[in-house]
Amino acid sequence: MPEAYIVDAVRTAVGVGKITGGFAAVHPADLGAHPIRALIEHNNVDPAVIDDVIYGCLDTIGAQAGNIARTCAMVAGLPQTVPGVTIDRQCGSSQQAVHFAAQAIMSGTADMIIAGGVQKMSQYPIGSSYSAGEPYGATDPWSSSPGWVKRFGPGEVSQFASAERIASDWGFSRLDMEEFALLSHQRAVLAQQRGYFDREISPFVGITADEGPRPNSTLEKMAGLRTLRPQGRITAAVSSQISDGASAVLVASEHAVKTHSLTPRARIHHLSVLGDDAVNILTAPLPATENALRRAGMTISDIDLYEVNEAFASVPMAWLKHVGADPDKLNVNGGAIALGHPLGASGTRLMITLLHELERTGGRYGLQTMCEGGGLANVTIIERL
Element (H, E) at 308: strand 305-308
Rounded Cα distance between 266 and 257, Å, is: 12
Beta strand 52-56 pairing with 112-120:
parallel
**Complete DSSP assignment for 76-115:** TT--TTS-EEEE-BTBTHHHHHHHHHHHHHHTTS-SEEEE
Q: How far is CA 235 from the centre of its chain?
A: 21
Question: Which 8-state DSSP code applies to residue 119?
Answer: E
Q: Give the SS3 label for residue 366.
A: strand
Residue 148 CB partners (closer than 8 Å, separation 6+) = 142
Cβ neighbours of 232 (radius 10 Å): 16
Rounded Cα distance between 213 and 53, Å, is: 30
User: Shortest CA distance to 53 belongs to which of 14, 120, 10, 110?
Assistant: 110
Burial of 89 (0-12, 13-18, 19+ CB in 10 A): buried
> Could you list the active site residues?
91, 341, 371
User: Shortest CA distance to 306 belongs to which of 339, 271, 331?
Assistant: 331
Question: Which 8-state DSSP code applies to residue 331?
Answer: S
Contact 82, 47 (CB under 8 A): yes
Contact 343, 372 (CB under 8 A): no
